[in-house]
Amino acid sequence: MKKLLLIEEDTDTREMVAFTLENNGFEVIKGNKSVSVDDVISMRPHVVIIDPSGDKLCAGLKANDLTNPVPVIIYSASLNADKVPNKCGADAVVAKPFELEDLVHLASRLAYKN
């Protein structure tokens, strides 16, 4: 089972996304914006999904040799969502609103590519 770290501040969204991912074979660790690069190193997720408030964490993960290989997905409602990967080094971005099934497929593809 692949482990996924989900960082989402909105409780309802976090629970809905986590439920869907768990029902699709992921072990989901739920986090918030206080998660650090060191926390991620100790959690050892196969994929990290972050809401836009976590772009500093994303940049930190991509700057660290231990966490750089871990795929990071950012989901964003920003009109500039397509610029998010360049800003922090994310591997993928999903624009809100999105279909949960699309997020599951993307997370699966990234988790199993390594």
DSSP per-residue codes, 29-62: EEE-TT--HHHHHHH--SEEEE-GGGHHHHHHHH
* Average pLDDT of span 70-88: 71
- Give the whole-angstrom CA distance, residue 35 versus residue 113: 25
pLDDT tens for each residue of 16-39: 999 999 999 999 999 988 899 999
Using pLDDT thresholds of 50, 70 and 90, give the confidence band for residue 86. Answer: low
Q: Is 89 exposed, middle or buried (0-12, 13-18, 19+ CB in 10 A)?
A: middle
- What tens digit of pLDDT does each residue of 59-77 get? 999 999 999 999 999 887 6
Confidence class of residue 107 from pLDDT cuts 50, 70 and 90? very high
